[in-house]
Amino acid sequence: MANSDYARIEQAILYLDAHAREQPSLDDVAAHVGLSPFHFQRLFTRWAGISPKRFLQIHTLSSARRLLAERRSVLDTSFAVGLSGGGRLHELFVTLTAMTPGEFKLAGDGLTIHHGVHASPFGDCLIAVCERGICGLHFLTGESEVEALESLREQWPKASFIESTKLTAPWAGRIFPQTPPRERTPLSVLVKGTPFQVQVWQALLRVAPGDVATYEDLAKAIGRPKAVRAVGSAVGDNSVALLIPCHRVLRKTGVIGDYRWGSSRKQVMLAWETLRREADNEDGDGEALQSGLA
């Protein structure tokens, strides 16, 4: 999705959220984002897989507290299924691999990282990959390509960086498929972090698309209930957006909270995942790809 289209979607989601009680019409929302009702309907439905009217009917963004309460039992069950049991979790099929202590000290020495900019449902993003999988995903609205690349260089200071959109394009296609694939294969993600950070990122993988957790939930899940602030720092240090779903963490009050790539984008991402899950449920396809990822 082009950045201009994403910007309109973001404006629409925020407008619908702010005016949910008023039940704005299609004409109202379309006028707000500067499109005709016909073109806005097409754009929104293509993005969400559901109509703007249906979005209002299943609207959950302004009731995050209720969402937390409703999904808590599911979350507790998910966390109880053994965080040490590997990284292939939920429908995401993400395999998380952490650098060993020895590799950590090498700071990426001998590692070649290819990177490229690609469109996504949430605007342009920089994707970085190496022979062991995806090692970076940064959204570029609010962060330039130069800044995103500099952040990756700081993380992997001795690695070699090569711009290669052609090489990263197949990865982008798997992360953001146009249509659900017939067969899903795991997406390998390589992370560089402390043992504590890796624990937190593994816990994040237990939060399924359409679900949310609090920082307290994550701290409890890793057996460190008093380390809530440290958990928050680890969540903020995640450099693989969406695949390691730090956007699914809310404050315990239900407030959306900060997000490295913008709180508005976080709100939109949560809405998209909720809408996709609802659309899949309405289709009666329990095996459908709830997150849009493969």
The one-character DSSP state at 47 is: H
Nearest-angstrom CA–CA distance, 215 and 218: 5
DSSP 184-225: --PEEEEE---HHHHHHHHHHTTS-TT--EEHHHHHHHTT-T
Give, in order, the Cα–Cα distances in Å from 192 to each of 39, 44, 103, 158, 167. Answer: 43, 37, 9, 13, 22
**Tokens read off for 227:** 């380390």
Active site residues: 246
**Tokens read off for 56:** 């209002």
Q: Are 57 and 51 in contact (CB under 8 A)?
A: no
Q: Is 142 left (phi over 0), alpha (psi -120 to 50) or beta?
A: left
The residue type of 218 is: L
Nearest to 192 by CA among 145, 158, 161, 167: 158
Q: Are 16 and 55 in contact (CB under 8 A)?
A: yes
